[in-house]
Structure 1
Amino acid sequence: MTDTHVSEPPRPGSLFGPDSQFHRFFNDPRWALAMVRATVLEAAHPRIGAALTDNSTFVAHPWRRLRNTLVSLQRMFGPDDDARRKEAARLNRLHARLSGTDARDRPYDATDPEVRAWVVATLFESSVTMCRLSGQPLDQETMERLYAEYHAFLAALGDAPGHLPPTLAEFWPYYDHMVEEVLENTEALRIILYKLFDHLPAPPLLNGLPTVWAAGRAFAGPVIGMVTVASLPESFRRRAGLPEVPGARTLMQGAYLAAGLARFLPENWLRTENLTELLSLTWPPDSDAGELARAATLTALRGRMKRAGALLRLVTPFPVPPSGPAEDPPTRRSADEFFTAVLDQTGNGYLDWPDLASMARELSTRLDLDEPAETRLYQAFAEWWRELQAALDTDGDGRVSKEEYAAAVPSLAGPALIRVAEVLFDATDADGNQYIDADEYRTLFRTGFRRTVADAEGRYSRAAFVKDFLSFMSGRRRSTPYDPLLAGA
């Protein structure tokens, strides 16, 4: 008799949490390259590409979008079953609000299980590819385990089995078919490759240092684009007409190898949680003393970077503005600047419902709202959009251009916007005592009370909250807590 060893399938409980293969990849520097590659492959799907173009904030607010994605993945693959169920319900509600038609009148729906299966497929395949390109290919058992984890991810979302092939052997023909028959050179793909990388706004840590960021982006943007294109399947590159730059494959392999070597750095340097903190420059309300100490260190680091940026401007031969009397920095945005920084959340040059929906989505995410409160907030924003559309859409095309907005220079503080402020106050006031305390404030803004916010008893009243919100949304004031929340990249 011959003994045949059959590997035992992973236990269901081990598919999530710190023992999962995904958890190990999540803190792997190579995964940053894999995530970019997976995002491009997602955007090449015509239905996903249309949804991204119409609804996503990845152009105007890429760092905020990245942070929210990382936090969501942490919740879905973490060890807490209740947190996973809550996040899955939140994602399903978010996807249910994303539907429409593309430029060729083809419908898209973010709840389509076939579309969600392709999103998971790109994450799995790009994780496998990142290991191969960095000279550390996965063995069969590890690939099987990772594939089972992604299946469990779809199951946690409530998707019925069958849309993602059940076995790894069946996955590869499915993937080849999608690449060769379904993917297209979509507008979303072109935006990512040829606009986003070249015009990427500064992350929070470098905000206010345009010279430093512009110098880094001028080099890094094209490199990231070339590395990403070179890593895509060759058959798709040819069919989509993506350029093959000489030396790009060598550059790609070098980038993956270099990222792979980073695994020898101290473990606490590579934690994704540290990246999410850098992307917001704020700490959650339950921060312990160690986290608050890191916040102080980060603030000091940013101060040094500002001084370095000032020195760089002194030694760089850029035109120097004529000298004159010192002026205080402006406290108000122009109408054009306010439109671009705050109202046009999707970055398409127009104000329409997806822009206000993205505001509602970001606020709901910050507050971690349940279904009833989230729905009330979306409904309040929908009422505001109808009010804005009636007042500003002079040509009747269903959206508001920058010119229409600037020509009217409206006072936006109408009844509907006041309703948005009141609903947001109620959502933030978790204990319902009609005041926002320090912890509730930090939950929304991820920072402590400002000097002018709290009253003598350390509370933020409804009247003061509504007034400040309206001042930001209609008065276009700078340097408010809403700037990093709604205007930050």
Structure 2
Amino acid sequence: MGRPGLEALRSRLAAGLFERVAGAEGAGRRARIHATAGPRWFGEDRPIRVVHGDAAMFVGGLRALLLQSLHPLAMAGVAGHSGFRGDPWGRLARTSYFLASTTFGPAELAQETITRIRGVHAHVRGTAPDGRSYAASDPHLLEWVHIAEIDSFLRAHQAYGSVRLDAAARDGYVADAAFVARALGVVDPPESEAALAARIESYRPELDAGAAARDTARFLLREPPLRGVARVPYALLGAAAVGLLPEWARTPLGLPHRPRLDRTLVRVGGRVVTSGIRWAMASGPPAPAPTAAG
């Protein structure tokens, strides 16, 4: 394939990926995030920009969903209110917009996004299958969702990111993410890698993979809303995500523990697919559609 053909393929892949991740409004939202002038929550040199701007986030996002599902109350909220089964791409687009607007967007947009999410959280409440009540605005539950995400994003970046962070930058990433977490309502989020690991360990007595969590793992890994050849790279992403989970998280979800395979074939597959995504996205996402007045 000649260079023009290769570039055309690259552009098609980038457009397809961007549409899946950002949704129908993605191009316009991207322009608002990146092209709007004004101060940002995080400077260009901050570690959170490095982590959240890398293709390894695809692996980290899947790992985060699997890990988060281990908390019965978090899982009850997802199953009852998120609509992830009926509209998984919509949920992905909303999550990616939250991450992009708070990480890269102007401070006004970041705060607007946080305010909207807190408003949604105020109405998400119910009763879990075990009879306990839950509320998305509960700081303790918010913290579990936060630390599961940040741990997953950081581990995925260290395994599959284009550049690895040193110890100081890893601590900086956790501290950057803590700033966003506090804005969302998390009380005293961890601000270092060691504190993050200790906080996750402190939640382990509360974790238990019920039927809903195992069903979520099955849906995410074996029944993705994709067809044909698209399932192949997705399967590599899924295997890479599972490969980064600790054994204590895999067993309750019915996922295999294969340390030797994870260190060899799974790691190679993860690098191939994240490198491919990085290559495709380097061509840039599509520009916003022109308006009638344009």
TM-score, normalised to structure 2, is: 0.74
Which of 234, 258, 264 matches 2:247? 234
Q: 1:194 to 1:41 in 2, by over 3 A?
A: same
1:189 and 2:194 matched? no
Match of 2:58 in 1: 32
| Percent identity for Structure 1 against Structure 2 | 23
- Please give the secondary structure, in 1, of the residue aligned with 2:134: strand
Shift of 1:215: 4.9
- What does 1:335-346 correspond to in 2, within 5 Å? none
- Please give the secondary structure, in 1, of the residue aligned with 2:141: helix
For the 8 Å contact 1:134–1:257, the answer to whether it is kept is yes
1:172 and 2:197 matched? yes
Which of 46, 70, 81 matches 1:20? 46
Shift of 1:168: 3.7
Shift of 1:220: 4.9
Who wins on radius of gyration, i.e. which is larger?
A: 1
Q: 1:60 to 1:160 in 2, by over 3 A?
A: closer
For the 8 Å contact 1:15–1:149, the answer to whether it is kept is no
Match of 2:269 in 1: 255
Amino acid at match of 1:199: E
Provide, for residues 40-70 of structure 1, a one-character-per-residue CA deviation record: whole Å limited to 9, x for no partner.
Answer: 1112111110101111121121111111211
Amino acid at match of 1:173: A
Which of 68, 77, 80 matches 2:94? 68
Provide, for residues 381-407 of structure 1, a one-character-per-residue CA deviation record: whole Å limited to 9, x for no partner.
Answer: xxxxxxxxxxxxxxxxxxxxxxxxxxx
- What does 1:5-404 correspond to in 2, within 5 Å? 16=42, 18-134=44-160, 137-157=164-184, 159=185, 161-162=187-188, 164-178=189-203, 180-202=204-226, 213-217=227-231, 219-220=232-233, 222-244=235-257, 247-259=261-273, 261-262=275-276, 265=279, 268-269=282-283, 274=285, 290-292=287-289
In the alignment, structure 2 segments of 5+ residues that lack a partner are 1-38
TM-score, normalised to structure 1, is: 0.46
- Please give the secondary structure, in 2, of the residue aligned with 1:265: helix
Distance, in Å, in 2 between the alignment partners of 1:188 and 1:18 is 40
Distance, in Å, in 1 between the alignment partners of 2:86 and 2:214 is 15
Q: 1:161 to 1:72 in 2, by over 3 A?
A: same
Compare 167-176 and 82-91 and name the one that shifted more: 167-176
* Structure with more of its chain in helix, by fraction: 2
Q: 1:116 to 1:21 in 2, by over 3 A?
A: same
Distance, in Å, in 2 between the alignment partners of 1:201 and 1:241 is 21
For the 8 Å contact 1:197–1:224, the answer to whether it is kept is no
Provide, for residues 414-466 of structure 1, a one-character-per-residue CA deviation record: whole Å limited to 9, x for no partner.
Answer: xxxxxxxxxxxxxxxxxxxxxxx979xxxxxxxxxxxxxxxxxxxxxxxxxxx
Distance, in Å, in 2 between the alignment partners of 1:54 and 1:266 is 35
- Please give the secondary structure, in 1, of the residue aligned with 2:225: coil
Between the two proteins, the alignment pairs up a number of residues equal to: 253
For the 8 Å contact 1:88–1:156, the answer to whether it is kept is yes
Q: 1:263 to 1:99 in 2, by over 3 A?
A: closer
Distance, in Å, in 2 between the alignment partners of 1:134 and 1:215 is 22
Q: Higher relative contact order at CA 8 Å, sep ≥6: structure 1 or structure 2?
A: 2
Distance, in Å, in 2 between the alignment partners of 1:267 and 1:100 is 40
For the 8 Å contact 1:185–1:240, the answer to whether it is kept is yes
Distance, in Å, in 1 between the alignment partners of 2:117 and 2:48 is 19
Provide, for residues 177-212 of structure 1, a one-character-per-residue CA deviation record: whole Å limited to 9, x for no partner.
Answer: 32x32222134432332124433334xxxxxxxxxx
Distance, in Å, in 1 between the alignment partners of 2:91 and 2:236 is 22
Q: 1:221 to 1:132 in 2, by over 3 A?
A: closer
Distance, in Å, in 2 between the alignment partners of 1:160 and 1:57 is 24
- Please give the secondary structure, in 1, of the residue aligned with 2:282: helix
Amino acid at match of 2:120: L
Taking only aligned residues, the RMSD between alpha carbons, in angstroms, comes to 3.0
- Please give the secondary structure, in 1, of the residue aligned with 2:187: coil
Match of 1:403 in 2: none
Provide, for residues 94-144 of structure 1, a one-character-per-residue CA deviation record: whole Å limited to 9, x for no partner.
Answer: 111111111111111100111111222122211221133238542111012
Amino acid at match of 1:110: A
Q: 1:267 to 1:230 in 2, by over 3 A?
A: closer
Shift of 1:146: 0.5
Distance, in Å, in 2 between the alignment partners of 1:238 and 1:221 is 22
Distance, in Å, in 2 between the alignment partners of 1:225 and 1:257 is 12
Shift of 1:252: 2.6
Q: 1:251 to 1:181 in 2, by over 3 A?
A: farther
- Please give the secondary structure, in 1, of the residue aligned with 2:126: strand
